Structure 1
Amino acid sequence: MTRGPATPLPSPKARRRLREAASLTQTQLAERVGVAPGTVRAWESGRTTPRGRKREAYAKLLKTLAKEEESAARQAARTPQPAPPPKTEPTGDRASAPEACPGAEAEPEPEPEPVAMPAPMREPAPESQPRSTREPVPEPRPAPAPLTPAQAFDALYEFSAPALVRQTFLLTGRREQARESVERAFQTAWERWPEVARDRDPVGWVRATAYEYALSPWQRFRPRHRHPEPPPADPGDRTLLNTLLRLPPRHRRTLVLYDGVGLDLPETAAETEASTPAAAHRLLRAREAVAGRLPALADPQVLHRRLAELASNERLGAARPPTVRRGGERRARFRTRAAIAFTVALIGTTALTVRTAPTHYEPPVSPGQAVRGVPPRVAPGSLSDEELELRQKLRDQMQDGPERLSPQLE
């Protein structure tokens, strides 16, 4: 069987605009579609996409809202603007009014329907009027100067860094690692500031990056990980922290986001990159594990309060925003210089290879072959009797040869 194409949906911004144009809240729209308000919030933020029957119902509702918006715009364009009523000067003479006949009841005149009139423009005071009687004209307030990227980053850091350090401590149980993870996440955010500044939830962007760095499996290979940090002083906090650290990383992160941070289930699933049923399953398993060791924390409200107390009892500090920005800039410069050095080394190696490479083909040397008729070489052995005799004869003779022969007369 093959599935048909999914029902097309407008962009997340267009979905939100249609809902706001219809004066509907997220809760009202969720009731009409039959989902939770958090699901509608996730659809409008683009983190999740509806599927199946919910997608068809949502697309049908958005199409209806778009038609209503178009019809309202056409009707507003056709309706002429009402003309202002003519001004009549009030008179104090009431004798001109028709008197009611005696014994007859006057019919009440129908009240005119209220018409929305544009606000009349204030006429300027004449020059002949003294200055003391003129209405004071309020001076226009200067528009606030836009924040620079550095100022916006510093404001975001000072607002969210302390809370993120406490939340990361619940994931790792290490104070220095939590602080370093948050600083590294903010350094990454500063490197990608145009993207983070346009995000609908910058704090969520930084939080997801910090959690990923803190829960990275490479952290266990660092020398700092071999030396444990001192546990919390309170025995209850120590037991709760040990219980959290015994949970799998995915379950621990889901529990901290839902019961610690306070996100709803769709947002928790989107941040952990899981489906909503999978996030709910992880949350239930984590709660069961915590309740099995600490029965007093079976209530989610009590668990939320204890997690907040555990995070707030630790004295966790964060560096100043300029220090974090400068650290990120130094890391970016180091990576850039390392990339340039590697590229230069690669270019130099390639140039050296091209310079020293042979310019023509050199055939390899063929292996040796045996020649017929030539006896093979034999290793030396013991001498025979003839060879011994010959050697002795050579030794007995003079080594410098025979005497030189000279001619003589007889």
Structure 2
Amino acid sequence: MCRPIYVYVLSHPKGLTVTQSPAPEPTPPSPVPATAAATGAVADTASETGPAPLTPAPAPAPETAAEPGGDAATLTPAQAFDALYAFCAPALVRQAFLLTGRRELARESVERAFQLAWQRWPEVARDPDPAGWVRAATYDYALSPWHRLRPRLRHSEPSPADAFSRTLLDALLKLPPPYRRALLLYDGVGLGLPETAAETEASTPATANRLLHARAAVATRLPELANPEELHRRMAELASLERLRAAKPPAVRTDSERRARLWTRAAIAFTVALIGTTALTLRTAPTHYEPPVSPGGTVQGVPPKVAPGSLSQGELALRAKLRQGMASGPERLVPQPR
């Protein structure tokens, strides 16, 4: 497993005192099983003789707790995180590139995964496989379906110059995300079938079927990759062609803390707004029951209102006569003072 100096259990939040154990006696090399690679690290750069392997370098000798009076160094959480990041980030960037085919998204996936790991560092530090925890977070973010809604990710990036590598990358990207993930973990990283099933959160038979279908789909496009060993080698070559660099560990930790502060402030602002809205509602809401006004009814026997119509000829003549004789009419109509 990918567990060198960063094997750090946060039973002591202030730090853990460790010392390096004496160097072991040299032993003859022995073959490493395929399941020994937990990170499936793709080497940073290809060697002069060929592509770098997908498996990480052997972990150093385990470290033991320092005895009183011995030479000791304090391993802080930041140092443990930086060691984990330096060991696993370069390989995870290349694995994320094989998953997404996008260089910028691959770097972003690794950075976001490590930012999440730093926010949950006590949990990650106590995990039996911190590298596997970060790898799962990287894969989840890289394969998120929400990325297709981002405008800057709608345009394709330049493909590899090599025709074979371009065809292999296209064949990988045409696979469904669960198949692609299972194929990379099993044939690229080198995990066993049970470990692959556990990381993909699927049953072992379902994972085996995904692997068979993924291999068949790739072999249809590239028949020479029907051999799993050749597929592993070609995937390593494809990952080694890209010069992908990850951010520095301090920058990742700073971004993680800034993002955590931003979300905390947003949560506080939302809570304050919710409390204010609730208080305003309680202040303006009625305090007693107000019965609704019953709808009005029609009153029977009342003649409807009618607008006055035009005057007839007789009415017009009468009106004219009254207007003429009102001021100089008979005495009975206009009384005279005595």
Query: Normalising by the residue count of structure 1, what TM-score does the alignment of the two structures yield?
Result: 0.62
Which of 344, 362, 366 pairs up with 2:272? 344
Residues 404, 150 of structure 1: CA spacing in aligned structure 2 closer, same or farther, 3 A cutoff? farther
Q: Deviation string for 1:318-349 (max 9, x for gaps)?
A: 00000000101111001000000000001111
How far is 1:385 from its partner?
Answer: 5.4
Task: Map 1:73-222 to 2 at 5 A.
Answer: 142-222=70-150
The 2-side partners of 1:267 and 1:397 are apart by 119
Say which SS state the counterpart of residue 146 (structure 1) adopts.
strand
Please tell me whether Structure 1 or Structure 2 has the larger radius of gyration of its CA atoms: 1
Residues 388, 312 of structure 1: CA spacing in aligned structure 2 closer, same or farther, 3 A cutoff? farther
Task: State the match for 1:330 in structure 2.
Answer: 258
Query: Which fold has the larger relative contact order, with Cα–Cα distance below 8 Å and residues 6 or more apart in sequence?
Result: 2
Query: What one-letter code is carried by the residue in structure 1 that aligns with 2:210?
Result: R
The 1-side partners of 2:99 and 2:160 are apart by 14
How far is 1:376 from its partner?
Answer: 2.4
Which of 296, 302, 320 pairs up with 2:248? 320
Task: State the match for 1:267 in structure 2.
Answer: 195
CA RMSD of aligned residues (A): 2.6
Residues 373, 239 of structure 1: CA spacing in aligned structure 2 closer, same or farther, 3 A cutoff? same
The 2-side partners of 1:292 and 1:189 are apart by 39
Task: State the match for 1:407 in structure 2.
Answer: 337
Residues 140, 211 of structure 1: CA spacing in aligned structure 2 closer, same or farther, 3 A cutoff? closer
Residues 369, 316 of structure 1: CA spacing in aligned structure 2 closer, same or farther, 3 A cutoff? same
Task: State the match for 1:230 in structure 2.
Answer: 158
Q: Deviation string for 1:362-409 (max 9, x for gaps)?
A: 22222111122211234665555566556656766779x99985523x
1:368 matches 2:296: yes
Which of 279, 282, 294 pairs up with 1:354? 282
Question: Identity across aligned pairs (percent)?
Answer: 74
Which of 202, 221, 230 pairs up with 1:293? 221
Runs of at least 5 residues in structure 1 that lack an aligned partner in the other structure: 1-36, 39-138
Query: What one-letter code is carried by the residue in structure 2 that aligns with 1:304?
Result: H
Which of 212, 219, 237 pairs up with 1:284? 212
Q: How many residues align?
A: 271
Runs of at least 5 residues in structure 2 that lack an aligned partner in the other structure: 1-33, 36-66
Query: What one-letter code is carried by the residue in structure 1 that aligns with 2:129?
Result: D
The 2-side partners of 1:397 and 1:248 are apart by 106
Query: Normalising by the residue count of structure 2, what TM-score does the alignment of the two structures yield?
Result: 0.74
Residues 214, 376 of structure 1: CA spacing in aligned structure 2 closer, same or farther, 3 A cutoff? same
